[in-house]
Structure formats: C-alpha cells, structure tokens
C-alpha cells in the first residue's frame, strides 16, 4: 500500500464513524419504540375489580333503583342489605367494604376475612386493592345525594 491509499482509507473510515453511530442510534430507537407495547404489563386485576364494582351500582339485582326501568347511580336503600349484596356478589377471593354515606354512615362487608386484610394492600405481590367513591343518589322515602365508597381487596 502506498501512502495515498492509506490516507484515503483513513479518511473514508473517519467519515463512516459518525454514520455508524447514527445508524446504531436510529436502530436502537426504533427497537425501543417497537418493544414498548410488549413490555407493558397489563394489570387485569384492576380491570376485573372495576367491572365487579360497577355491578353494585348499575345492576338491578344489587343496589340500582328500579321503577319501570333501572336507574343506575340511584341506590335503593332497601337493597343495601348484606344478604342481598352477598347474593349479588359471589366471589370468594375478593373482600368488599361498602360505605354508604349521606347523613349517616352505613357499612357492609362482604367476605369479611379478606376485606379486613386491607392493611396489607401495600403488598402488591400478594394483594390487589382498589378503592373508588361514587357520587350517588339515595332513594329512601325521598331522593337525597350521597357517596358510595367501594373498597375491594383481592388475594392473588
């Protein structure tokens, strides 16, 4: 090799180094963007609890007020009883605490042994917990505003 060919080779190599770095960055970025949905962990426990929680509010068999049609979001106080809610909610792996608040506080626990383990909700490996408060209307003799808090604890 002569000195001119060595100089051309070195010059060509120096021109390719930034190109190679740019190609590696582009390929790495594309790979990262493509694998984002794959790495996302879909938490099905929260989705399952959300569906069960909505059953309490929207189902006529649970607490929804019915007079010719179902009024979701209106809690029939006559249906807010432990026996009725246990019949409506049949799951032995989920404990539920229902708090109905207007002028008074009424609390019902379903699957009490699991519902009382809410202090362990920080242990995400063994327990899955959700807590949601609905703004509802409560049908007694009159319709009045209130809050319905549903706290669920599921053992994994």
Query: 56-114: per-residue pLDDT in tens?
Result: 888 888 888 888 888 888 888 888 888 888 888 877 788 899 999 988 889 999 888 88
pLDDT of residue 99: 92
Residue 22 φ/ψ region, left for φ over 0, alpha for ψ in the -120 to 50 degree band, beta for the rest = alpha
Give the C-alpha separation, 20 to 120, whole Å. 52
Closest CA to 61 of 85, 81, 82, 83: 85
CA distances from 97 to 90, 113, 132 (A): 14, 11, 11
Range of weakest confidence among 2-6, 23-27, 141-145, 147-151:
2-6
Q: What is the mean pLDDT of the chain?
A: 83
pLDDT at 26: 95
pLDDT at 12: 76
- The reported pLDDT for the residue numbered 22 is 92
pLDDT at 111: 86
Total-model pTM = 0.68
pLDDT at 42 > cutoff 70 = no
């Amino acid at each position: 090799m002569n000195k001119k060919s060595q100089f051309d080779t070195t010059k060509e190599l120096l021109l390719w180094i930034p190109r190679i770095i740019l190609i590696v960055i582009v390929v790495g970025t594309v790979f990262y963007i493509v694998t984002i949905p794959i790495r996302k962990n879909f938490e099905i426990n929260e989705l399952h609890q959300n569906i069960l929680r909505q059953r309490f509010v929207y189902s006529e068999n649970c607490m929804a007020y019915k007079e010719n049609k179902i009024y979701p979001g209106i809690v029939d106080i006559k249906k807010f009883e432990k026996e009725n809610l246990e019949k409506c909610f049949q799951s032995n792996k989920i404990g539920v605490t229902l708090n109905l608040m207007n002028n008074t506080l009424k609390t019902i626990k379903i699957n009490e042994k699991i519902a009382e383990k809410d202090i362990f909700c920080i242990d995400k490996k063994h327990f899955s917990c959700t807590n949601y408060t609905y703004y509802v209307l409560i049908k007694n003799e009159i319709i009045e505003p209130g809050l319905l808090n549903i706290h669920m604890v599921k053992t994994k």
